[in-house]
């Protein structure tokens, strides 16, 4: 698809854009992608209900006229070449919008979600997060587990969507939750085609928290470099067998399947409670029965970003049976390695309200997994204990 075709709306390679917010070239940029058959005006209208301050909103118009509106690709499901051409067009526009290091987030609706998914997969290093509303990712999704590690995502699907096939919505939800590596906040919204006000409010809260995190802590680094060393394990982290477990996509985050026997649940706790300098108590956060692991911080323990609850010195906690999973905070390279190998599921609010290395570690299913899970928790202990 040649986006300079005179039959396509332009002119040339320049998209039509509606803007809201600051014009500062270094401010975070939120790129809005409309659904097919509408225009840039359909999404820029929600900008006043999103965070104000040092943030810019830019709604792009699709390059192909479709009735009274516009599309991102020609009629029918997008051909890979067409989708790639549109991605190149959007990425080129983003590159010319200001500071090349400015944070860029996507906010997409319906068919715009398909384009957003293609952009995220093609250039994960360019995006600091994404809001995906009532749409599906391109088929098939990427095969690489952890492809979106470090990129928080807000996903909302309608329970009675009349336009997007249910199987495509299910594949999108499953891949984002269990394979992508993205810290995923996801919800199913009762009803059909209308963008509910409650969803816009939820997006505004999530986006404000993510922007605050970026201002305070900077970008999430992406997985990079050689396979990291785990001092608490004998050799590299092995691959966990089978698919990642199903987990809740809001708080409290819990493991819903693949539970191991109760004896392993108790054996894991005994190992964790015996780590150097650790004290235990009932957790302040998490489901009833959650147990916390704490380190005294007066002696110069590690940075705040190594703790679930810095004021308490809580660096990990274990959920009650039958969910023997842990929440821990890992250094970035170890968190990404754990995600890619199936031993870690990002917390829905990692890099949003919680440290970016906050992950759920599935409970052990057998004695060999007990050793690995205990080793992962020992790595979190070492991170928190580092003075």
**Segment 83-131, tens digit of pLDDT:** 999 999 999 999 999 888 899 999 999 999 999 999 999 999 999 999 9
CATH architecture classification, 262-385: Alpha-Beta Complex (3.90)
Domain 17-217: state its class. alpha beta
Under-70 pLDDT residues of the chain: 1-13, 193, 298-300, 387
Residues in the chain: 387
Listed residue (150, 157, 151) closest to 132, CA to CA: 157
- Is pTM beyond 0.75? Reply is yes
Q: Using one digit for the tens of pLDDT, what is the confidence trace for 352-375?
A: 999 999 999 999 999 999 999 999
Does 262-385 match 17-217 at the fold level?
Answer: no
Domain ranges of the chain: 17-217, 262-385
Q: Which of 157, 177, 179, 176 is nearest to 166 (CA)?
A: 157
pLDDT of residue 387: 56
- Position 339 scores a pLDDT of 96
Whole-angstrom distance, CA of residue 180 vs CA of residue 91: 21
User: What is the rounded CA–CA span in Å between residue 166 and residue 159?
Assistant: 9
Neighbours of 209 (CB within 10 A): 18
Confidence at residue 130, expressed as pLDDT on a 0 to 100 scale? 98
pLDDT at residue 11, rounded to an integer: 40
């Amino acid at each position: 698809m040649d986006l300079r075709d005179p039959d396509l709306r332009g002119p040339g390679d320049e998209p039509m854009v509606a803007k809201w917010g600051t014009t500062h070239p270094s401010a975070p940029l939120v790129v809005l992608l409309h659904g097919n058959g509408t225009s840039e005006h359909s999404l820029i209208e929600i900008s006043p209900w999103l965070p104000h301050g040092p943030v810019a909103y830019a709604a792009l118009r699709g390059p192909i006229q479709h009735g009274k509106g516009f599309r991102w690709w020609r009629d029918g499901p997008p051909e890979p070449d067409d989708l790639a051409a549109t991605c190149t067009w959007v990425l080129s526009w983003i590159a010319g919008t200001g500071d090349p290091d400015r944070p860029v987030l996507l906010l997409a609706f319906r068919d715009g979600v398909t384009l957003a998914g293609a952009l995220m997969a093609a250039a994960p290093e360019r995006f600091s997060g994404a809001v995906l509303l009532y749409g599906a990712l391109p088929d098939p999704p990427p095969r690489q587990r952890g492809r979106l590690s470090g990129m928080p995502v807000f996903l909302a699907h309608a329970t009675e969507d009349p336009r997007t096939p249910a199987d495509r919505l299910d594949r999108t939800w499953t891949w984002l939750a269990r394979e992508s590596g993205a810290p995923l906040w996801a919800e199913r919204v009762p009803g059909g085609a209308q963008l509910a006000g409650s969803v816009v409010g939820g997006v505004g809260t999530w986006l404000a928290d993510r922007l605050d995190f970026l201002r305070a802590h900077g970008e999430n680094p992406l997985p990079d470099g050689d396979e990291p060393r785990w001092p608490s394990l004998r050799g590299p982290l092995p691959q966990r067998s089978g698919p990642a477990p199903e987990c809740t996509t809001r708080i409290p985050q819990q493991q819903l399947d693949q539970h191991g026997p109760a004896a392993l649940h108790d054996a894991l706790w005994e190992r964790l409670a015996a780590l150097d300098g650790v004290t235990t108590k009932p957790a302040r956060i998490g489901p009833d029965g959650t147990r916390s692991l704490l380190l005294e911080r007066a002696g110069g323990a590690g940075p705040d970003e190594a703790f679930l609850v810095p004021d308490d010195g809580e660096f990990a906690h274990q959920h009650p049976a039958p969910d023997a999973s842990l929440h821990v905070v890992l250094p970035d390279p170890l968190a990404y390695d754990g995600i890619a190998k199936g031993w870690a599921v990002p917390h829905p609010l990692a890099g949003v309200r919680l440290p970016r290395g906050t992950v759920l570690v599935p409970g052990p299913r057998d004695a060999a997994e007990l050793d690995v899970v205990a080793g992962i928790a020992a790595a979190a202990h070492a991170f928190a204990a580092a003075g």
